[in-house]
Structure 1
Amino acid sequence: MALARTWSVALFGVDGVPVEIEADVGVGTVKTQLLGLPDAALHESKDRVKAAVRNSGHDWPSQRVTLGLSPATLPKNGSGYDLAIACVVLAAAQVIPGDRLADTVLLGELALDGRVRTIRGVLPALMAARRAGLTQAIVPVAALHEAALVEGLTVYGAATLTDVLEWLNGQETLHHTAPPTIAPPPDGPDLADVVGQPEARWALEVAAAGGHHILLTGPPGTGKTMLAQRLAGLLPPLSMEEALGVTAVHSIAGLLTPEAPLVSAPPFVSLHHSTSIVALVGGGAGLAKPGAMSRAHRGVLFLDEAREFGLGKLEALRTALEEGEVRLARRDGITRYPARFQLVMATNPCPCAPPKDIDCICLPAARRRYETKLSGPLLDRVDLRVVMRPLTAMSREFVADPEPTATVRERVHKARTRATERWAEHGWFTNAEVPGPMLRTEFALPRETTSAVDRALAKGALTGRGADRCLRVAWTLADLAEVDQPTADHVAAALEFRERRMS
Structure 2
Amino acid sequence: MSFSKIYTRSICGLSAPLIEVEVHISQGLPSLTIVGLPETAVRESKDRVRSAIINSGFTFPSKRLTINLAPADLPKEGTRLDLPIAIGILIASGQIPSLHAHHYEFVGELALDGRLRSVRSILTIAMACEHEQRALILPTKNQQYIQQLSSLKWFTAPDLKSVCDHLSNTQPLVQGEMSSEPYHQKRTSDLSDVKGQFAAKRALEIAATGGHSLLFRGPPGTGKTLLSSCLAGILPSLNHKQMLEVANIYSIANQEYILGTRPFRAPHHTCSAVALVGGGSQPKPGEITLAHHGVLFLDELPEFDRKAFEVLRQPLESKEITISRASGKTIFPADFQLIAAMNPCPCGYYFNQDQRCQCSLDQIKRYQNRISGPLLDRIDLHIDVPPISYQDMQVSQQSENSDTVQRRVNMAYERQIQRQKTQNQSLKNSDLEQYCQLDQPCQRMLSLAQKKLSLSVRGYHRILRVARTIADLDGIEHIQSKHLSEALSYRTPFE
Aligned to 1:15: 15
Which SS does the other structure have where 2:11 is aligned?
Answer: strand
Aligned to 2:166: 167
Matching of residues 436-451 of structure 1 within 5 Å: 436-440=429-433, 442-443=434-435, 445-446=437-438, 448=440, 449-451=442-444
Aligned residue type for 2:265: V
Report whether the alignment pairs 1:491 with 2:480: no
**Which stretches in structure 2 are left out of the alignment for 5+ residues?**
none
Contact 2:270 2:305 in 1 (8 A): no
C-alpha separation in 1, matches of 2:418 and 2:96: 56
Aligned to 1:402: 399
What TM-score, normalized to structure 1? 0.92
C-alpha separation in 2, matches of 1:451 and 1:109: 67
C-alpha separation in 2, matches of 1:282 and 1:304: 19
**Which stretches in structure 1 are left out of the alignment for 5+ residues?**
none
2:472 to 479, 487, 495: 479
Contact 1:91 1:98 in 2 (8 A): yes
Aligned to 1:462: 455
Q: CA deviation at 1:490?
A: 2.1
Aligned to 2:380: 383
Aligned residue type for 1:378: L
1:348 to 343, 351, 363: 343
Q: CA deviation at 1:19?
A: 1.6
Q: CA deviation at 1:365?
A: 1.5
Contact 1:16 1:124 in 2 (8 A): yes
Aligned residue type for 2:437: L
Aligned residue type for 1:269: R
Contact 1:457 1:464 in 2 (8 A): no
Moved more, 453-462 or 214-223: 453-462
Distance of aligned partners of 1:459 and 1:222 in 2 relative to their CA distance in 1, 3 Å threshold: closer
Aligned residue type for 1:292: E
- Please tell me the root mean square deviation across aligned C-alpha atoms, in Å: 2.2
Q: CA deviation at 1:171?
A: 2.9
Which SS does the other structure have where 2:38 is aligned?
Answer: coil
Aligned residue type for 2:487: A
C-alpha separation in 2, matches of 1:12 and 1:372: 39
Report whether the alignment pairs 1:138 with 2:137: yes
Q: CA deviation at 1:274?
A: 2.3
Contact 1:436 1:468 in 2 (8 A): yes
Matching of residues 86-97 of structure 1 within 5 Å: 86-97=86-97
1:288 to 271, 279, 283: 283
Distance of aligned partners of 1:41 and 1:274 in 2 relative to their CA distance in 1, 3 Å threshold: same
Which SS does the other structure have where 1:226 is aligned?
Answer: helix
Contact 1:208 1:412 in 2 (8 A): yes
Report whether the alignment pairs 1:414 with 2:411: yes
Aligned to 1:306: 301
Aligned to 1:275: 271
Moved more, 271-280 or 472-481: 271-280
Which SS does the other structure have where 1:174 is aligned?
Answer: coil
Moved more, 307-316 or 41-50: 41-50
Q: CA deviation at 1:84?
A: 0.8
Q: CA deviation at 1:6?
A: 1.7
Residues 414-461 of structure 1: per-residue CA shift (max 9 Å, x gap): 10000011122xxx3x11111222214x43524633444444556671
Aligned residue type for 2:472: D
C-alpha separation in 2, matches of 1:501 and 1:458: 14
Moved more, 215-224 or 17-26: 17-26
Aligned residue type for 2:268: H
Aligned residue type for 1:439: L
Q: CA deviation at 1:386?
A: 0.3
Aligned residue type for 1:164: V
Contact 2:185 2:237 in 1 (8 A): no
Q: CA deviation at 1:207?
A: 0.2
Q: CA deviation at 1:191?
A: 0.9
Contact 1:75 1:332 in 2 (8 A): no
Moved more, 367-376 or 49-58: 49-58
Aligned residue type for 2:284: K
Contact 1:167 1:174 in 2 (8 A): yes
Aligned to 1:83: 83
C-alpha separation in 2, matches of 1:400 and 1:144: 44
Which SS does the other structure have where 1:59 is aligned?
Answer: coil
Aligned residue type for 1:277: A
Report whether the alignment pairs 1:336 with 2:331: yes
Aligned residue type for 2:409: V
Contact 2:83 2:108 in 1 (8 A): yes
C-alpha separation in 2, matches of 1:407 and 1:197: 17
Aligned residue type for 2:67: L
Q: CA deviation at 1:91?
A: 0.6
Contact 1:450 1:491 in 2 (8 A): no
Residues 186-244 of structure 1: per-residue CA shift (max 9 Å, x gap): 45422122111121111001001101110000001111011111111111221111111
Residues 315-353 of structure 1: per-residue CA shift (max 9 Å, x gap): 122222112223223354323322211111011000011
Q: CA deviation at 1:55?
A: 2.4
Q: CA deviation at 1:486?
A: 1.6
C-alpha separation in 1, matches of 2:123 and 2:81: 15
Report whether the alignment pairs 1:432 with 2:425: yes
Aligned to 1:57: 57
Percent sequence identity is 37
C-alpha separation in 2, matches of 1:163 and 1:83: 12
Count, aligned residues: 491
Aligned to 1:205: 205
Aligned to 1:230: 230
What TM-score, normalized to structure 2? 0.93
Aligned residue type for 2:254: G
Q: CA deviation at 1:75?
A: 2.2
Q: CA deviation at 1:58?
A: 2.0
Aligned residue type for 1:290: P
Aligned to 1:67: 67
